[in-house]
Every structure is written in C-alpha cells, then in structure tokens.
C-alpha cells in the first residue's frame, strides 16, 4: 500500500491503522518515521501509529511458527527397516522396527517421551523371520501395561510363504508370552499386513490371508485370491471369533484400524473380479465385521497390487480416511471424512496430485481438522516426506516438506504427541536402509 504523506491531523490513530490494514502495518512500519518524522505537528499521531504497529508486529511474529522439522534420534542399528508407529496420545507412542540380531533378525521397539525416543528393547529374534519393507511388524499398547506384538515368520521354502506370529506382555514388555498364530489354516501362503487393536481384555487383529492361493488359478480370482480375515485373542491366548471379512482383496496393501464411537473401523484396498482396486471400509457391529463398502468410486483398474494401503483415524463419530489412487493414470492422494462412525462418506477431497507415490499417514487434530502425510518422488530417485493440514470443511493448508531423504521403498509413519507431529521414515544411504525421525509443532502447519 502507498502511504499518503498528506494525511491530515484530524484522522485518528485508530482510523489510520484501519486504513493501513494489519498486513500493511507489518510491511510498512519501517517507512513511517521516514515519511513523517520531520513534521512536528504529527508527532502524537506518529507515536500512536508506532505503538499500534509494534503491537501488531508482535502479533505477527507470535502467530507465525516456522515449519522447521527437528531431528529425533532413533535407537535402531544400521541397517534397519520396517518402522511402524502404534498407539496414541493416551497410551503413548510405540515405534517398532527390524534390525540384524545375533541369531537372525530382531524385532525391537522404543517409546516416545518428551520429544525423544527411548532406548530400544527387544521382543524376539529369529533366523526364519520374514523381513519386508512394506509388511511391517508392530508393537501395540493395549492399556494397563499390556502390549501386543506381531511379526512374520517363514512357513516354507517359498518366497511368499509366511505366517503371522503373535505374542503379548502384561508387564510393559519385560516378559512375553509363548508365540502363537491367529490363523489356523496351515497353508504355505502369505499371511500379513496386520492391524492390531485393543478390545477390552482382548486383542483384535485383521490381516491379509492367502490360504486360497494354494488353489489353481482360474478365470475366477475369488477361487485363488487374497482374502481379508480377522480374529480376537484373549488374555489367556485363546483364539476366538475367527471371521472371513472379504473373500477377494488386493494382494499386498497395508490395512489400518481406528476405534470410533460405534467400535472398530477398518480400511483396506479391495479388489473386484474386474480388477478394480479401490479403498473399502468395514465396521465391527454386533460382534461381527460387516461386509466392506467402497469409500469412493475411484475405479482404479490395475492388474497388480500397487503396495499402497489407506490410513484411518477416529474421534468419536468422526472418522477420517486418507488413501492413494492412480485411476485414469493420474496419481492422487485423497481424503474422506465421515460423521457417522464410518457408515457413510461424502465425496472425497483431493489432497495432492502430480508426482505422488502415496504411502499415506493420517492423524486427527483439533476441531475435526486432520494432518495427512504422503511420499512424493524427487529428482534424486528417492522420496520427499510431505504433510499438510486439512480443515473440517476440506480447506487445504500449505504442503510442507519434512524430509528430502526418504527411500522410494519407505512407508512413512505419522503420529501426534501433544502439540507435536512425529514422523518416522526409512532412508537408503549407499544401498543401506536406516530409520530416521523428526518432530514438528502443530502450530507450524
């Protein structure tokens, strides 16, 4: 704004500030004294203007929090891979990962307190563990010192023949129960991409189950395709309520679960016999998982698995879901918000398009706002970890870069800890995987 040097003395300082506007005050305070200091008759007005300007400048500086990620050290060896965050603000955040051990691969974990990851603790080590960048093990807090952990274990000398193995602790991880399997089919096929959650004294699990893949491949993919199955494990390690949730789903995309007002809600990448692979939601109602329903009709026709699962978060009846789609050859991250515990979803919001790789993360903020993270390809052949805030009305905040150093084979993790967002991802340096982490104030979004 151009400042008029002939402003008349009768113009009050309040109206003068209104005439300049707050943004102009922030930008033009430095020139006010140059324009008016020679005019003694205006000194009182100048004093008032400068006082108001300084107050507004203070407000400007206080309201702007720079987006400057702070690195948080992770107590993982190099190499290490498969980082995964579980838990929330009430239970605390648990980060698990895989690293080499004396007797094979080791599943270890750390907890997040006061902006730091604690010293790592071990769950198990084995030479027959299946370690994969996309199918990550977990350590999940269940409450009252109880923890649940799962990993993948080879079941035969075949590339994708492995089982889900589960154990639990009742003393904050000091000791662990005898391992068990939540599935009883015994086939040398793929079982993985597990989501774990607390259900009172039980642990709920939902996973990809490939038991039908031993069948001969025919024109009917439901005869030999991947399924979605679920079960519960009680405090005595008794397996209950085994259920086939969906008879045909995508082969190797991550699942996710959140607890809404109505109970657990799970999301996964579905698959039709026509090779449409869109995101579906299933709700646990009256003791059963309900048939999956598509969140949006993306109509992504793709003959193979994109290895790109959805992310879900919930706060009461509000359920938020983020996902990636490549429908019509256009890579996009989308976001949907339900106000009835995931029963229905209005039309989704497009979060970002262009050179996105997906691998989304999602957390609830305040007032039904959310933060969505994703991986975006960069010129170095790796990925940028990105994040932006989305308002309850779908308004998009600025897209921020957390790191330029993620490997292209990374599934970045996103969580909230009080007034910070916490990120974890895998970096590949000289062909060696290592885990990195950073935190950012919520106010910086």
Position 335 pLDDT exceeds 60: yes
Structure tokens belonging to residue 274:
């026509």
* Band of residue 4 on the pLDDT scale cut at 50, 70, 90: very low
Mean pLDDT of 68-76: 98
User: For the chain, what's the residue count?
Assistant: 445
Residue keyed to tokens 């084979």? 409
The whole model's pTM is what? 0.86
Dihedral class, residue 408 (left if φ above 0, else alpha if ψ from -120 to 50, else beta)? alpha
Residue keyed to tokens 């400007």? 60
* Band of residue 10 on the pLDDT scale cut at 50, 70, 90: very low
- Helix or strand or coil: residue 101? strand
Strand ranges inside 326-390, DSSP E: 332-338, 349-353, 356-364, 370-377, 383-390
Whether the CA torsion 406, 410, 411, 416 is positive or negative: it is negative
Q: Are 96 and 435 a contacting pair, CB within 8 Å?
A: no
d(CA 303, CA 306): 9
**What is the end-to-end Cα distance of the chain in Å, rounded?**
28
DSSP label of 329: G
Q: Is 186 exposed, middle or buried (0-12, 13-18, 19+ CB in 10 A)?
A: exposed
pLDDT of residue 19: 31
Position 16 pLDDT exceeds 80: no
d(CA 118, CA 109): 9
Position 41 pLDDT exceeds 70: no
pLDDT of residue 337: 97
**Least-confidence region, from 8-22, 127-141, 417-431:** 8-22
Distances 268 to 253, 353, 363 between C-alpha atoms, Å:
7, 21, 17
pLDDT (tens digit, 9 = 90+) per residue, 373-431? Answer: 999 999 988 999 999 999 999 999 999 999 999 998 999 999 999 999 999 999 999 98
Name all contacts of 60-69 with Cβ < 8 Å and 24+ positions apart.
Answer: 60/22, 60/26, 65/441, 65/443, 65/444, 66/444, 67/400, 67/440, 67/444, 67/445, 68/440, 68/444, 69/402, 69/403, 69/423, 69/438, 69/439, 69/440
Structure tokens belonging to residue 200:
């009172």
Q: Are 384 and 404 a contacting pair, CB within 8 Å?
A: yes
pLDDT of residue 158: 94
* Band of residue 102 on the pLDDT scale cut at 50, 70, 90: confident
Indicate the Cα dihedral angle 154, 160, 161, 167, nearest 10°.
50
Q: Cα angle at 336 between 332 and 341, to 5 degrees?
A: 155
Q: Cα angle at 204 between 202 and 209, to 5 degrees?
A: 145
């Amino acid at each position: 704004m151009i400042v008029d040097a002939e402003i008349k003395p009768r113009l009050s300082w309040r109206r003068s500030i209104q005439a300049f506007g707050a943004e102009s005050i922030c930008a033009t305070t430095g020139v006010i004294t140059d324009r008016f200091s020679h005019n003694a008759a205006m000194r009182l007005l100048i004093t008032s203007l400068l006082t108001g300007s300084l107050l507004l400048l203070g407000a400007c500086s206080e309201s702007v929090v720079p987006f400057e990620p702070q690195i948080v050290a992770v107590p993982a060896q190099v190499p290490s891979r498969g980082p995964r965050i579980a838990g929330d603000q009430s239970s605390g955040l648990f980060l698990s990962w895989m690293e080499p051990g004396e007797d094979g691969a080791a599943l270890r974990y750390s907890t997040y307190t006061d902006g730091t990851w604690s010293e790592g603790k071990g769950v198990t080590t084995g030479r027959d563990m299946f370690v994969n960048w996309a199918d990550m093990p977990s350590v999940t807090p269940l409450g009252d010192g109880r923890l649940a952990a799962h990993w993948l274990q080879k079941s035969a000398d075949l590339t994708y023949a492995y089982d889900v193995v589960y154990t639990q602790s009742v003393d904050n991880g000091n000791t662990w129960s005898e391992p068990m399997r939540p599935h009883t089919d015994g086939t040398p096929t793929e079982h993985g991409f597990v989501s774990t959650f607390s259900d009172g004294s039980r642990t709920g699990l939902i996973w990809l189950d490939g038991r039908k893949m031993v069948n001969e491949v025919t024109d009917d993919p439901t005869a030999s395709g991947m399924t979605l199955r679920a079960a519960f494990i009680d405090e005595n390690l008794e397996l209950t309520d085994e259920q086939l949730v969906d008879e045909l789903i995508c082969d190797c995309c991550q699942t996710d679960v959140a607890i809404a007002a109505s109970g657990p809600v799970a999301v996964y990448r579905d698959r039709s016999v026509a090779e449409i692979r869109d995101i579906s939601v299933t709700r646990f109602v009256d003791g059963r998982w309900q048939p999956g329903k598509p969140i949006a009709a993306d109509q992504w026709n793709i003959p193979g698995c994109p290895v790109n699962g959805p992310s879900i978060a919930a706060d009461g009846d509000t359920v938020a879901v983020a996902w990636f789609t490549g429908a019509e050859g256009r890579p996009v991250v989308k976001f949907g918000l339900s106000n009835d515990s995931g029963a229905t979803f209005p039309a989704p919001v497009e979060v970002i398009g262009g050179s996105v790789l997906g691998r989304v993360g999602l957390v609830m903020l305040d007032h039904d706002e959310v933060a969505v993270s994703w991986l975006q390809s960069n010129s170095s052949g790796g990925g940028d970890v990105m994040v932006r805030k989305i308002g309850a009305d779908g308004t998009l905040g600025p897209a921020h870069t957390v790191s330029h150093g993620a490997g292209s084979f990374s599934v970045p993790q996103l969580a909230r800890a009080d007034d910070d967002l916490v990120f974890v991802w895998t970096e590949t340096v000289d062909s060696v995987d290592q885990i990195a982490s950073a935190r950012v104030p919520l106010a910086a979004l």
